[in-house]
Amino acid sequence: MTLGSTVPFNRVLAAGEEIRYLQAAVEGGHVSGAGPYTSRCEQALNEITGSEQTLLTTSCTHALEMACHLLDLGPGDEVVVPSFTFVSTAAAVAMRGAVPVFADIRDDTLGLDERLLDRAWSERTKAIILVHYAGVGCEMEEISQWASDRGIDLVEDNAHGLFGSYRARPLGSFGALSTLSFHETKNLSCGEGGALQINRADLVDRAEVLREKGTDRSAFLRGRVDKYRWIDLGSSWLPSDMLAAFLWAQIERRTVLQAQRQAIWAAYAHRLAPWLKERGFRTLEPPADRRHPAHLFWIMAPSPRERDRLLQHLRSLGVQAVFHYVPLHSSPAGRRLGRSPGSLDVTERVSASLLRLPLWAGMTEAMIDQVVSAVLAFR
Ligand SMILES: *Cc1c(COP(=O)(O)O)cnc(C)c1O
């Protein structure tokens, strides 16, 4: 191990045609949104998840805001969300004046615990927004059934789950709406970006209007109307075609990028397995009916104190491991804007005991060795 060399937690590997396509977008003269690269990305993402329509957006956060708007959420409505997630899952609900209701997670998949949905339900429940944590599908059969029995809409915050599947069906294809992130920490990236994936045909036209500042510009560009007008609420959630050009290069190389991630994930799992067991630590044991896209590699410590010690130890050896998430139900805005029926023990325990190792396409063998040796050297 070379002293002083650091393994960053995350990097975006632009080893394909990213820069060439970016230049082509500029030279082609169409750098605003809805250009040729945007169409290519949207088409490919439709094919990957089997969605009716994908709309690229400026972020996953914005796609979640669009989803909440399309479901007409408003004051008085409640939406069940996990507390163990990034803020946007709940913030998008609160932005509409609706109340996020925090539910606990399962301690195996770290996804929403389907057994606790009854406890979170009320007469005001309008939707569930779930997260496939680490790209491991939630219990989709039970959750979909529960939601459809009660006429409740399902949204997938699929920021971790692109290329994942549950019983051979792509994640992102279960909800009426699903969202993706292309932030620099995600499997495919253009720095900042996202997508709304629409699985219900009746929501497509409104979603296009919403993304185009409330105008029917999309229909106009397709020649369906002869001028474009302000017809509904909307905002500016359309990314530049320059970002789409960068993203297109990543989508084109998805097989290579995914294979690299899978290999790193498998190397960690294999080389750390005996150590984890011996020390009372654990990691994901993927359920047999699910494929996960190696979005992240987590380690759960036997206690918060051991987690903090391991984190310090790794950092002292130049390994940028991180932890997340600060539970939303106990955060200042979560308390003020949300509701928590019952305790969220698993969320609290996981949040205090979990850490993530560096994992990104482009990590060298030497970096992987450095991470593994650093973990094994922990006493
Ligand atoms: C990254 C992430 C988001 C936010 O994505 P942005 O594109 O940065 O807005 C939302 N939800 C989850 C679960 C995420 O991991």
Give how far the C-alpha of residue 237 lies from the chain's centroid of Cα atoms, to the nearest Å: 18
Give percent helix, percent strand, percent coil of the chain, each to the nearest 5: 40, 15, 40
Q: Residues 6 or more apart from 104 whose CB is under 8 A from it?
A: 82, 83, 113, 116, 342, 343, 344, 345, 346, 347
Distance 43 CA to ligand 1 centre (A): 22
Q: Is residue 9 part of a domain?
A: no
Whether the per-residue pLDDT at 311 is higher than 70: the answer is yes
Q: What is the CATH number of the domain that holds 332?
A: 3.90.1150.10
Q: Output the pTM of the full model.
A: 0.97
Q: Of 53, 49, 39, 44, nearest to 200 (Cα)? A: 53
Distance 59 CA to ligand 1 centre (A): 8
Please tell me whether residues 90 and 184 are part of one structural domain.
Answer: yes
Please tell me whether residues 171 and 267 are part of one structural domain.
Answer: no
Interval 87-93 mean pLDDT: 98
Distance 64 CA to ligand 1 centre (A): 9
Query: What is the pLDDT of the chain when averaged over all its residues?
Result: 96
Both tokens of 348, joined, read: 């609290």
Which pLDDT score, from 0 to 100, does residue 4 have? 64
Q: How confident is the model at residue 284 (pLDDT cuts 50, 70, 90)?
A: very high
Q: Which of 9, 60, 196 to mutate to test the pocket of ligand 1 (most atoms within 8 A of CB)?
A: 60
Q: What is the CATH number of the domain that holds 188?
A: 3.40.640.10
Please tell me whether residues 89 and 208 are part of one structural domain.
Answer: yes
Which residues, in sequence order, are bridge partners of residue 339? 101
Distance 63 CA to ligand 1 centre (A): 10
- Going by alpha carbons, the residue nearest to atom 2 of ligand 1 is 159
The residue out of 235, 252, 269 marking a domain boundary is 252
Whether the per-residue pLDDT at 2 is higher than 60: the answer is no
Q: How confident is the model at residue 1 (pLDDT cuts 50, 70, 90)?
A: very low
Whether the per-residue pLDDT at 208 is higher than 80: the answer is yes
The residue out of 200, 233, 252 marking a domain boundary is 252
The edge-to-edge listing of strands for the beta sheet with 125-131 is 53-57, 194-198, 177-181, 153-157, 125-131, 78-82, 99-103
Please tell me whether residues 247 and 258 are part of one structural domain.
Answer: no
> What's the N-to-C CA distance of the chain in angstroms?
17
Both tokens of 86, joined, read: 């990034």
Range of the domain at 345: 254-376
Both tokens of 237, joined, read: 């959630």
Angle at 122 between CA 120 and CA 127, to 5 degrees: 75
Tell me, what amino acid is at 137?
G
Please tell me whether residues 226 and 285 are part of one structural domain.
Answer: no
Please tell me whether residues 54 and 200 are part of one structural domain.
Answer: yes
Which pLDDT score, from 0 to 100, does residue 3 have? 54
Residues 219-237: pLDDT tens digits?
998 899 999 899 999 999 9
Distance 167 CA to ligand 1 centre (A): 24
Interval 155-178 mean pLDDT: 98
The edge-to-edge listing of strands for the beta sheet with 165-166 is 169-170, 165-166, 290-291
Please tell me whether residues 65 and 213 are part of one structural domain.
Answer: yes
Give the residues surrounding ligand 1 with Cβ less than 6 Å away: 59-61, 85-86, 88-89, 131, 157, 159-160, 181, 183, 194
Residue 304's SS3 state is: helix
Interval 64-79 mean pLDDT: 98
- Going by alpha carbons, the residue nearest to atom 15 of ligand 1 is 159
Residues 18-47: pLDDT tens digits?
999 999 999 999 999 999 999 999 999 999
Whether the per-residue pLDDT at 53 is higher than 50: the answer is yes
Please tell me whether residues 220 and 161 are part of one structural domain.
Answer: yes
Q: How confident is the model at residue 13 (pLDDT cuts 50, 70, 90)?
A: confident
Please tell me whether residues 133 and 214 are part of one structural domain.
Answer: yes
